[in-house]
A and B are shown apart, each in its own frame.
Chain A
């Protein structure tokens, strides 16, 4: 069964008297343990699509099933619960909480969103921080670490709840090449080791070159699907 299944997915925004069609009858499916990227120019609908998959917005029409759930029927509270259980988020600007340390930022979803025992929490956090190479920085605050380090912490935070799907919106946009590759490597490793599905919204060629499937969005429509790492156009 597909992890994500979208059929005739349409999203229309009303801007005053104008109607903006951000997504037009989009159809696609993502299998578990995939590394998928949606690419396209600004305004093509990438972020809208990620917001719909992330249950932060609802489609105007069409259906979207994520992890077997019709997300359009979820209430605010149910959507939050669904996100906490099944999804991880990585943001372009890292969005770490400045008042918490690296360790506490990774701990936050386990404490506030999931109810995980202290021992298990500690083990998961330390393992993940070690995996992303941030164990020695665990007591620092976000303003004491670099952008690349922040993004690695964000990756750890996204993965600590053992989600089946991680949504990453331009995760390497604020990173230099070396750091970006390191972050991508980390995510690859997580995908291979934990079977997590990663979906990126990006125009970063570094990511595009690493993913397994690339969807091209143009004016709210999927205009192409290609395989990464040697895959040909479909």
Chain B
């Protein structure tokens, strides 16, 4: 085995220029794919964390049917006190959940006493909301970073349009579930940055103020947002929550709760899927590059060494060992290209991070792209390249192993 490896390596070094060119081509392909994957992955993760950490949360639980009418924020489809207790019990007993935040969401009218416009409001517990959406305080452009009773966080666009600033008094008017119109004066506690995506232009108030405005005797919430310890466990925790809550049925025998991940709630999920599809096609291109280049080299190698193959066969080398010899050569071509490619990728990634490439996403300005090489991606790409290299060598290797020594020895 070791001897075959030694012979294979020497055979590769016999045609230095060819080996160098093929390995370089593979290395460039690996570099291109790894840089693309790490950059697109960095962009995707940045966007996902912006969306989930600014307002959405990783998972949301609503009453069944709420999502179908979410645009109108129906108060009639809120989770009642009994539902909330069951939900809290399930959430508290489940591992992997870092925090949860009940929210009362409603649509209302916003007035500065001169003009009136519409507004979407989130009534939240400030500490719970901050635990679920840790980027919320960072969105505050002016004012206090904590939501206090009697105060509101106003989205920047609304503040500009209505010419209100921190400290001003405003009025919010809303209709409760019975159809009664209620109003309440608030002080503008902070102006917050609007972010792209659903809820990115919502205002915030304390949940007790929301209850008071909507004349709720008992707590009712529109949704419960959840943040996980580990984002990678999104689907497993979501499935576990779904299973834990599935026994709660309404009078019609249907589940009371509707568990949704951020993927169901944000249109960015489609962009994220597109990035994954593009990554898949980029990987396919790499496979084609490796397949064609290695196969080309190995076909040439077999053709040029026909007499040598004949000699090996004549002196008793079994067909399997001849096959194996050429497969090892293919393996080392792939391995060399991959290792060099990984080194190149580290260099390119370092440069990208050093240069600090920034971009804007919606209203978020100056987001810095920070590609990071993930061991999983490196192993995946390396595995693909090496496997394809071996597969590319398989046909020429098989041909070599099937050569009749008598014909091979006659070859000029």
Q: Which residue of B lies closest to A88 (CB)?
A: B315
Given A56-B314, A56-B406, A91-B311, CB of A80 within 8 Å of CB of B11:
no
Report how far A57 CA is from B3 CA in the complex, Å.
29
Is there a chain A Cβ closer than 8 Å to B313's Cβ?
yes
Contact indicator A97/B311 (Cβ below 8 Å)? yes
Which residue from A56, A84, A98, A114 sits with its C-beta under 8 Å from B404?
A56
- Most chain-A CB neighbours within 10 Å: which of B4, B13, B315, B409? B315
B316 adjacent to chain A (CB < 8 Å) = yes
Interface 9-mer from B21-29, B82-90, B317-325 = B317-325
Determine whether the beta carbon of A113 is less than 8 Å from that of B319: no
In the bound assembly, the distance between CA atoms of A161 and B314 in angstroms comes to 14
Chain B residues with CB under 8 Å of A51's CB are: 406
With a CB–CB cut-off of 8 A, which chain B residues contact A158? 315
Contact with A along B285-329 (1 / 0, CB 8 A): 000000000000000000000011011111111111100000000
Residues of B within 8 A of A107 (CB): 3
Q: Which residues of A contact B312 (CB under 8 A)?
A: 97, 112
CB pair A57–B406 under 8 Å, yes or no, is yes
B14 an interface residue at 8 Å Cβ cutoff?
yes
B315 touches A89 (CB 8 A): yes
- Digit string of B5-33 for contact with A (CB within 8 Å is 1, else 0)? 00100110110000000000000000000
Q: Is the CB of A84 within 8 A of B308?
A: no
B406 with A80: CB separation less than 8 A:
no
Contacting pair A113 B314 (CB below 8 A)? no
**Chain A proximity of B2: nearest CB distance (Å):** 9
How large, as a class, is the contact surface on chain B?
20 to 34
Q: Is A112 touching B4 in the complex (CB atoms < 8 A)?
A: yes
Q: Contact partner of B316 among A80, A95, A98, CB < 8 A?
A: A80
In the complex, which of the residues A99, A108, A158 has the most CB atoms of chain B within 10 Å of its own CB atom?
A99
Task: Tell me how far the C-beta of B28 lies from the nearest C-beta in chain A, rounded to whole angstroms.
Answer: 27
Q: Which residue of chain B has its CB nearest to the CB of A80?
A: B318
Chain A residues with Cβ below 8 Å from B318 are: 77, 80-81, 84, 113
Contact of A83 among B7, B11, B316 (CB under 8 A): B316
- Asked if B108 CB lies within 8 Å of chain A CBs, one says no
We find that the number of chain A residues with CB closer than 8 angstroms to chain B is 32
Nearest A residue (CB) for B314: A89
Query: Whole-angstrom distance between the alpha carbons of A115 and B337 in the complex?
Result: 33
Task: Report the nearest A residue to B402, measured CB to CB.
Answer: A76
Which of A89, A99, A114 is in CB contact (< 8 Å) with B7?
A: A99
Q: Are B7 and A77 in contact, CB atoms less than 8 angstroms apart?
A: no
Known: A56-B405, A95-B311. A84 touches B316 (CB 8 A): yes
Contact B405 A81 (CB under 8 A): no
- The answer to whether B316 and A81 touch across the interface, beta carbons within 8 angstroms, is yes
Given contacts A56-B406, A112-B4, is CB(A99)–CB(B314) below 8 Å? Answer: no
Q: Which residues of A contact B406 (CB under 8 A)?
A: 51, 56-57
- Specify which chain B residues have a CB less than 8 angstroms from the CB of A97 in the assembled complex: 7, 308, 311-312
Is A54 an interface position by the 8 A CB rule? yes
A159 to B23, CA, bound (A): 39
Q: In residues 90-119 of chain A, which contact B (Cβ within 8 Å)?
A: 91, 93, 95, 97-100, 107-109, 111-114
* A113 and B313 alpha carbons, distance in the complex (Å): 10
Residues of A within 8 A of B311 (CB): 89, 91, 95, 97
A-B contact pairs, 8 of them (CB 8 A): A56-B406, A57-B406, A84-B318, A97-B308, A97-B311, A98-B308, A99-B10, A112-B317
Q: Which residues of B contact A (CB under 8 A)?
A: 3-4, 7, 10-11, 13-14, 307-308, 310-321, 404-406, 409
